Amino acid sequence: MKIAILSDFHLGYERFREDAYRQAEEALTRAAGLADAMIIPGDIFDNRMPRPDVIAEAINLFRNISGERWGADVSDFIGKGKNYCRAPIIAIPGTHERRAQDAADPVDILGLAGLVVDVSNATAVLRKGDEKVAVRGIGGIADDRFREVVSKENPVPVNGAFNIFMFHESLYELLPFNQEFMHIAELPSGFDLYVNGHIHNKVEMKVHGKKLLIPGSTVLTQLKEGEQEPKGFYIFDTITGRHEFVGIRSRRFVLSKIGISQLDNENVADAVRKEIERAIGNENDMPIVRIVIDGKIPKGHNADIEINDLSRRYKDRAIIDVSKSGITDGAILERQNMQQVSFDRISVRDYGLGIFLEKVRQAGISTGGVGPAELLDLLGSETNREKAVKKALDRLAGT
């Protein structure tokens, strides 16, 4: 059976909303034409409470592929809830869709509409002739609770099937700055393939001697190192055990760094313009160009540059992003360099949450078994502040 593995569409991402939709559409359409079934390990949406027009976009995308002639069908659904989808399109919610416990998330809506098979805490069994493939999912779980949930649920393979374990989490081996993150050795054993979302560049690893595939996002979101790689999805063959990455058309992204130490103010502006011109080149594809100005500021040096003027100047040729966040003193720069490899793989929100979790642990604060990430979700679950605080307090009190 050929399985398409796609992830992190981030539909509704405001900065590049058209890109998110167009590139998700291409990935879904091409994957549906190449595979017998499809699995999506989270972050279909960019927001846990997407606007109605974003939900409509998602419905349109999945409606278009649900009527395809799929090589496999859903023969069984094991777990809580009920499956309403006939097409073998298997999905879980990710970190961007995660909501407070027992609250419906956007993937629930797609599941109830019969557009995806939601295996947030369930197993979907697919059949193609005599072959059977079981997909066990765990989705929408905060990093600080994932280890606990895996231990409690104890996911096990289905006898007589090729078994896939699908999740959407941070892994310590990829993000080694927070001990709360799951180590790959702690993932449940006995599965034939492991599939993760969350990380926005493609990754291929081994778990218990089996493949772990992370397809990366289909849209550029974080403007960081690693996102210059082609966007796309995997096709995995359960018979041969082979996989291939299928690229999609995506907006070109160029990341350039300019050291400030040897430049004066005028040269900084000139260097930025030259880098932008070099990045655009002779192509007419409206690339995203990010210029990072970094280094230790020499005494008496000023790194002011009219960023808005640059954006206006190149508005018809490129999307310009100039960052001066790397300009700092030596001590801070050293700390940033130590953290950069990890930070480049994760969103700002998740990175900040990791720091928050570390501070909570260091302070010895007890939340009565309620994880800090869950509290954060609760506080963000209502537009009314008083209702959100009351919901969080009720959860802490166990009511």
Percent composition of the chain: helix, strand, coil (DSSP 3-state, to 5): 30, 25, 45
In tens, the pLDDT along 12-47 reads: 999 899 999 999 999 999 999 999 999 999 999 999
Residue owning tokens 């493949």: 211
- The pLDDT value given to residue 106: 93
Domain boundaries, the chain: 2-247, 253-328, 349-397
In tens, the pLDDT along 42-79 reads: 999 999 899 999 999 999 999 999 988 999 999 999 99
In tens, the pLDDT along 235-250 reads: 999 999 999 999 999 9
pTM: 0.79
User: Residue 200 — left, alpha, or beta (φ > 0 → left; ψ -120 to 50 → alpha)?
Assistant: alpha
| 246: CB partners within 8 A, 6+ apart | 30, 31, 34, 232, 233, 234, 235
Residue owning tokens 């210029």: 291
- The pLDDT value given to residue 67: 85
Say if CB 41 and CB 7 are below 8 A apart: yes
pLDDT band at 128 (very low <50, low <70, confident <90, very high): very high
Q: Which has the higher per-residue pLDDT, 351 or 171?
A: 171
In tens, the pLDDT along 148-207 reads: 999 999 999 999 999 999 999 999 999 888 888 999 999 999 999 999 999 999 999 999
In tens, the pLDDT along 256-290 reads: 888 877 666 667 778 888 889 999 998 888 999 99
pLDDT over 70, % of the chain = 76
Q: What is the mean pLDDT of the chain?
A: 84
Distance CA(203)–CA(243), nearest Å, equals: 12
pLDDT at 232 over 60: yes
Distance CA(53)–CA(265), nearest Å, equals: 45
- The pLDDT value given to residue 153: 92
pLDDT at 104 over 80: yes
- The pLDDT value given to residue 377: 59
| Superfamily name with CATH number, domain 2-247 | Metallo-dependent phosphatases (3.60.21.10)
